[in-house]
Amino acid sequence: MTDKIKVGDYLIVQRQKYTKLQKFNNSNTTVNLGKDQIELRLAENQPYFTTFHLVPKQERGKRIYTLDALSTPSEIRNLKELLIKESGNDNRNIIDDRQSQALSTEEILKLREECESSSEVIGKLVENSKSFATKTEYSQEKYLKRKEKKYFEYITIRRPSIRLLTDIYWRLDPEKVLGVRSDTLSQIISYSGVCGIGNYLLYESGTNGLLPAAMLNSIGAETGGKLVHLHPGNVAQKQALLAMDFPAEQQARCVSVNIYSVLRHFYQDKEAANENDTPEPNLDIKDDPAGVELVEEVNGTNKRKHNKTEDGTTEGEPEVKQLKVDKQKQTWELENEAAASIMGEKFDSLVIVAKEHPHSILKALLPFVKPSRPVVIFSTCREILTECYVDMKAEASVTYLRVSSNWMRQYQILPNRTHPDVTMSGSSGYLLTGYTIGN
C-alpha cells in the first residue's frame, strides 16, 4: 500500500458531497460524473487526497476534462465572500415568473465554453439576475450552492475506506449490501469483538465484499487473527476487499470458501480420521506361490489384490491410474483444506448476514464456535430473528439473547439553520446477539 495513485488501484472520486468508486485500470481510464467525462491519466503518481482542477478539452459538443493538480486547496474560491454584497430582508416581493435571469440558455452555454472557471460563470449569472440582490442572505447562499453544484470544477481523489465504501454502496442501492448501513456495520463489528487475535467465522450471501473487508480491516495487518469467509455461490463477491488494497499477508489470512463445500470437506476428513483410528482385524494369510492373486474379504465385499512385481508396479493395473494420484490440487481444494484446518481449532465469534433464513446456517455453524463467544445475526426482518431467538432459547445453546435495531438520524448543521434532514432512511435492519454456552 503506497501513498501514490497508481494504475490498478481503486479510487474514490469526490466532487463536493458526491463520491464514486472507480478502478484505475489503465492510463486511458475515464470517470463519468453526471454529464462530465474526466480523464484520470494525469492523476497517476500523484498523492492521495490531492485536489484537481478540471480543465476542459477543446472538443465541441462534449464535456471532456483533464486534471490539473492544485498546489494548495486554498485556490478554490469562496463564492459567498465574492458575490454576496447586499441582501434583502425577506422574499415576499419576489415573484417566480421565470423572467429574473436576463441570459438565455444559449448564452449560458456559450459562457461555459468561454469562461476559464466556474466562478466566472456563476458571477455572470448573479450579475444578470434581477432578484438576487433582493433575496435574503440564506436564499442567496442556497442559490450559490445550487449553481456551484452544477458548475463546480474541482474533484478530490481519496483512498477507499470502509466508511466511504459503505456510504457509496448504500446510496447506490441498499439491497446490494443487504441493507447494512454504516451504523449497523459498526454495531456488527463491535458486538462480534473482532480484533487482531483469534479466529473469526463469517457467513454472508452478497454484500459486495463489504462485511469481510470490514472484519479484515478490524483484524489489522501483521497480526495473528484469521477470518473464514463463507458464501453460498461458486465465487465470493470481493469488490470491497479489492478496493481496500490490503497487504498480501493480510489478504492471505482471509479464506473465502463455499459453505457447502467446506462443510462436506470437514466432515469427510473427520470420518476418514475416525476410520484410520479403528484397529484392523488380523488375517492369517498362508504362504502363496508367486504370481497367484489373493482374494480378501473386507467389510463383507470381495476385493481382488494383485501381487507386486519387481519394479514396484502391480500386475493387471494400468499405469494411468497411478498418475491420477499425483494430480495437482485446484485452488478451491486448497482453500477448503485451509478453512477446514481453522474450523478444527474453532472460532472466537460467529457473524451471519444472510438474505435467506439464518436458522439452518446457525445450526450448522454453531458447533464450530468456542464457549462464551459472541454470535451476531443480521436480518432486515424482525420476525425471522424472533424465530431464531425462540429456538436458541429453547435449546439453551446461546445465552444473553437480545434483538436490537438502530435508528440513525442525520442533521444539517449550519448557523441558525440546524435541523434534521428532510429525507433520510429509517431502520436499516435488526441484530440478534448472544453468547455461546459450553457443553
200-237 pLDDT, tens digit per residue, is 999 999 899 999 999 999 999 999 999 999 999 888 99
Nearest to 3 by CA among 67, 50, 58: 50
Average pLDDT score over residue span 99-119? 78
Between 416 and 311, whose confidence is greater? 416
The alpha carbon of residue 278 and the mean position of all alpha carbons in its chain are separated, in whole angstroms, by 46
Do 68 and 213 belong together in one domain?
Answer: no
What is the model's pTM?
A: 0.80
Q: Where is pLDDT greater, at 390 or 118? A: 390
Confirm whether 430 is domain-assigned: yes
User: What local confidence, expressed as pLDDT, does residue 215 receive?
Assistant: 96
Q: Say if residue 238 is in the same domain as residue 205.
A: yes
Q: What is the pLDDT of residue 297?
A: 43
Quickly state the pLDDT bin for 146 (edges 50, 70, 90).
confident
63-67, 179-183, 295-299, 305-309, range with the lowest pLDDT: 295-299
What domain range is 218 assigned to? 162-269+332-436
Q: What is the mean pLDDT of the chain?
A: 83
Q: Answer yes or no: are the C-beta atoms of 208 and 246 closer than 8 Å.
A: no
Judged against a pLDDT cut of 60, whether residue 289 lies above it is answered with no
Instruction: Please state the rounded mean pLDDT for residues 394-411.
Output: 90
24 and 67 part of one domain = yes
What pLDDT does residue 92 have?
76
The DSSP symbol for 108 reads: H
pLDDT of residue 301: 45
Pairwise CA distance, residues 427 & 406, whole Å: 6
H or E stretch at 295: strand 294-298
What pLDDT is recorded for position 302? 46
Burial of residue 3, with CB atoms counted within 10 A of its CB: 0-12 exposed, 13-18 middle, 19 or more buried: exposed
Residue 190's pLDDT band, with cuts at 50, 70 and 90, is very high
Q: Note whether 88 and 69 are same-domain residues.
A: no
pLDDT band at 439 (very low <50, low <70, confident <90, very high): low
Q: What is the pLDDT of residue 62?
A: 73
Rounded to an integer, the average pLDDT of 287-298 is 41
Q: Reduced to 3 states, what is the DSSP secondary structure of residue 326?
A: coil
Is 325 a member of any domain?
Answer: no
User: Regarding predicted confidence, which is higher, 142 or 14?
Assistant: 14
Domain CATH number, residue 385: 3.40.50.150
Same domain flag for 264 and 367: yes
Q: 38: helix, coil or strand?
A: strand
User: Cα-flanking dihedrals φ and ψ of residue 204, to 5°?
Assistant: -140, 145
Same domain, 185 and 246: yes
Cell for 305? 489384490
The verdict on 107 and 195 lying in the same domain is no
Last residue of a domain, one of 42, 57, 74: 74
Collect all residues with Cβ–Cβ distance below 8 Å to 155 and sequence separation of at least 6.
Answer: 13, 14, 15, 33, 38, 51, 52, 54, 67
Q: What is the pLDDT of residue 87?
A: 75
Residue 380: left if φ>0, alpha if ψ -120 to 50, beta else—which one? alpha
> Would the pLDDT of 305 be above 80?
no
Task: Answer yes or no: do 183 and 241 share one domain.
Answer: yes
Dist CA 363 CA 398 (whole Å): 11
Model confidence at 78, pLDDT cuts 50, 70, 90, reads low
Highest mean pLDDT: which of 8-12, 33-37, 90-94? 8-12
Both 92 and 190 in one domain: the answer is no
Q: Which of 150, 172, 195 is the last residue in one of the domains?
A: 150
Residues 194 and 256 in one domain: yes
Residue 20 sits in the same domain as residue 63: yes
Please report which confidence band the pLDDT of residue 162 belongs to, taking 50, 70 and 90 as the band edges. very high
Asked whether residue 90 carries a pLDDT value surpassing 90, the answer given is no
In-domain check, residue 282: no
Structurally, the chain folds into a number of domains equal to: 3
Q: Which helix (H) or strand (E) holds 190?
A: helix 182-192
Least confident residue range of 82-91, 241-250, 274-283: 274-283
Q: Answer whether residue 194 is part of any domain.
A: yes
pLDDT (tens digit per residue) in 309-344: 444 444 545 454 444 444 678 888 899 999 999 999
Q: Higher-confidence residue: 303 or 92?
A: 92
Q: Identify the CA nearest to 343 among candidates 377, 367, 361, 373.
A: 367
User: Does residue 314 or residue 263 have the better pLDDT?
Assistant: 263
**pLDDT recorded at residue 321:** 47
Residue 322, pLDDT score: 46
Residue 297 lies in a domain: no
Residues 6+ apart with CB under 8 A from 377: 351, 352, 353, 358, 362, 385, 388, 431, 432, 433
Judge whether 228 and 255 are in contact, CB under 8 Å.
Answer: yes
Asked whether residue 139 is domain-assigned, the answer is yes
Which of 33, 48, 74 lies at the terminal end of a domain, its last residue? 74
Residue indicated by cell numbers 450579475 = 127
In a domain, 58, yes or no: yes
Calpha distance 439→437 (Å, rounded): 7
Indicate whether 156 pLDDT > 90: yes
Q: Are 101 and 128 in contact (CB under 8 A)?
A: yes
157 pLDDT higher than 60: yes
Q: Is residue 376 scored above 70 in pLDDT?
A: yes
For residues 120 and 254, membership in a common domain is answered with no
Least confident of 191-200, 273-282, 427-436: 273-282
Q: Tell me, what amino acid is at 70?
A: L
**Which residue did the predictor score with more confidence, 425 or 160?**
160
In a domain, 310, yes or no: no
